[in-house]
């Protein structure tokens, strides 16, 4: 996309962008609608989180279990970087997870002075419960949708998130990081 500076009648610059090849007014209208719908989406996600929250569990802390289950043991600083969160916030959440027995600290083999965070069996069970709760909620929301509509949304949302991740400075690659592992089985259950 090319940026062009124009001058208005008042002499002040007005910056516009030229659209990518093959786009036109219809694409611009869709992009405008998308830009208006994304904040609405984020507000609704926050409202759903609030409604589904429980005073007995810290959902923000539980969300840290996913990268630990997917990527294996991580240093606390690496976890903070991965989820784009302040180290002091991560420290507070990790302390709660350790106290709850969902995560444990182990010595870092490369540097004995450091530790890595490892998800426990109880942590995996909590992650599975969170994933199941999310799936029940999404199944309810999309109950009247066709299978094709659900598949289309899933594919396009995954593509959008990958493309968004690719343009974020410092984001670790383009691989999706928000989806919980699908191969996690609660302890004691056979896959």
The number of domains in the chain is 1
Kindly state whether residue 14 falls inside one of the protein's structural domains.
no
Kindly state whether residue 172 falls inside one of the protein's structural domains.
no
Structural element, H or E, at residue 104: strand 103-107
| pLDDT recorded at residue 18 | 52
| pLDDT recorded at residue 22 | 53
Higher pLDDT, 54 or 117: 117
Distance CA 19, CA 9 (A): 24
pLDDT at 126 over 50: yes
CATH number of the domain that 75 lies in?
1.10.10.10
Strands 2-7 and 13-18: antiparallel
Mean pLDDT estimate for the chain: 80
Kindly state whether residue 154 falls inside one of the protein's structural domains.
yes
Kindly state whether residue 93 falls inside one of the protein's structural domains.
yes
Kindly state whether residue 2 falls inside one of the protein's structural domains.
no
Closest CA to 177 of 40, 68, 75, 91: 68
pLDDT digits (tens, 9 = 90+) for 178-188: 444 445 444 44
Q: 74 - beta bridge partners? A: 117
Kindly state whether residue 77 falls inside one of the protein's structural domains.
yes
pLDDT at 4 over 50: no
pLDDT digits (tens, 9 = 90+) for 7-31: 444 454 444 455 555 568 889 999 9
Please enumerate in sequence order all residues whose Cβ is within 8 A of that of 143, keeping only pairs 6 or more positions apart, or say none: none
Print the domain residue range for 113: 57-167
Distance CA 133, CA 51 (A): 13
Kindly state whether residue 4 falls inside one of the protein's structural domains.
no
pLDDT digits (tens, 9 = 90+) for 26-75: 899 999 999 999 999 999 988 887 777 665 667 777 789 999 999 999 99
CB 4 within 8 Å of CB 17: yes
Kindly state whether residue 117 falls inside one of the protein's structural domains.
yes
pLDDT digits (tens, 9 = 90+) for 128-168: 988 898 899 899 999 999 999 999 999 999 999 899 888 87
């Amino acid at each position: 996309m090319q940026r062009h500076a124009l001058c208005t009648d008042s002499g002040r610059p007005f910056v516009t962008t030229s659209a990518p090849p093959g786009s036109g007014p219809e694409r611009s209208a869709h992009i405008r609608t998308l830009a208006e719908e994304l904040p609405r989406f984020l507000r609704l996600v926050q409202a759903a989180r609030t409604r589904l929250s429980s005073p007995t569990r810290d959902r923000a802390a539980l969300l840290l279990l996913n990268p630990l289950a997917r990527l294996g043991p991580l240093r606390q600083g690496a976890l903070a970087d991965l989820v784009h969160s302040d180290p002091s916030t991560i420290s507070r959440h990790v302390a709660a997870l350790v106290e709850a027995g969902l995560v444990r600290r182990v010595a870092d083999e490369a540097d004995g002075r450091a530790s890595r965070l490892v998800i426990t069996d109880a942590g995996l069970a909590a992650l599975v419960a969170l994933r199941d709760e999310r799936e029940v909620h999404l199944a309810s929301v999309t109950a009247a949708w066709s299978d094709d509509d659900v598949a289309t949304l899933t594919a396009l949302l995954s593509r959008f998130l990958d493309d968004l991740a690719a343009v974020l400075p410092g984001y670790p690659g383009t691989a999706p990081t928000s989806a919980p592992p699908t191969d996690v089985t609660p302890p004691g259950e056979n896959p």
